[in-house]
Amino acid sequence: MSSRERNARERVQSYQQEKRGESHPAPDGAGQGPHRTPEQWTDFINQRIEEAMRAGAFSNLPGKGKPINTAPEPYVRADMQMANSLLKNNDLVPGWIADRKAVLDKIERFRTRLRAAAAVFRQSREQGTSTGLETGLTPQQQAQVNAWRSEIQSLNRQIEDLNYKQPAVFLEIFKLRLEDELKSAGISLGD
């Protein structure tokens, strides 16, 4: 028998063994390990999963014991469903949402400081220790109003930038006006 016929017979035997699910070493001896059938792979994978479970690898996974919501979100485009679920499952938010929250927090902190200043102005007016804002501004009060004005300008630039990034018009944040903010805090700049 020639070497050519021998190679052909070996290939046939190898093919038949593979079909029967018998493992055989790699023909080139490259050390690739035994060939596995799909059933053998399933058994191997199940064995590894069971070993991992015994070792406690699945003990403290996020969302353990909670049902998985597989229903699609009705108001989200189909092409955005997967992206949104990835963001949600990993506790991430799009950049414009984080920026919006930061700007709204800055506005609220500004308004809180403004209300505190209004309380101080009212208290000084009631005690008669200040001329109050109605009759004119002291240099210190004028400096405070100018600081508020520049802070509002900075906030308005941030609001404008954010409004360009947001995907929906109804999420727009309106720019601040010093006079309106002072009035809502209870400070009137009498002329």
- Per-residue pLDDT tens for 181-190? 888 888 776 5
Looking up tokens 């064995």 gives 47
Question: Residue 8: pLDDT band by 50, 70, 90 thresholds?
Answer: confident
Question: Residue 162: pLDDT band by 50, 70, 90 thresholds?
Answer: very high
- Given a cut of 90, whether residue 125 has pLDDT beyond it is no
For the chain, what percent of residues have pLDDT higher than 90? 23
> Which amino acid makes up residue 52?
A
- Per-residue pLDDT tens for 131-140? 444 456 678 8
Tell me the average pLDDT of the chain.
Answer: 80
- Given a cut of 50, whether residue 30 has pLDDT beyond it is no
Question: Residue 127: pLDDT band by 50, 70, 90 thresholds?
Answer: confident
Q: For residue 130, what pLDDT is reported?
A: 53
Query: Cα 113 to chain center, whole Å?
Result: 29
Higher pLDDT, 33 or 110: 110
Residue 120 sits at the vertex; the CA angle it makes with 117 and 125, to the nearest 5 degrees, is 125
For residue 151, the surrounding DSSP H or E stretch is helix 139-165
Q: For residue 190, what pLDDT is reported?
A: 57
- Per-residue pLDDT tens for 56-92? 888 888 778 888 777 777 888 888 888 888 888 888 8
Q: Could you tell me if 118 and 185 are in contact, meaning their C-beta atoms sit under 8 angstroms apart?
A: yes
Question: Residue 29: pLDDT band by 50, 70, 90 thresholds?
Answer: very low
Question: Residue 22: pLDDT band by 50, 70, 90 thresholds?
Answer: low
> Which is nearest to 117 in space by CA: 83, 144, 91?
144
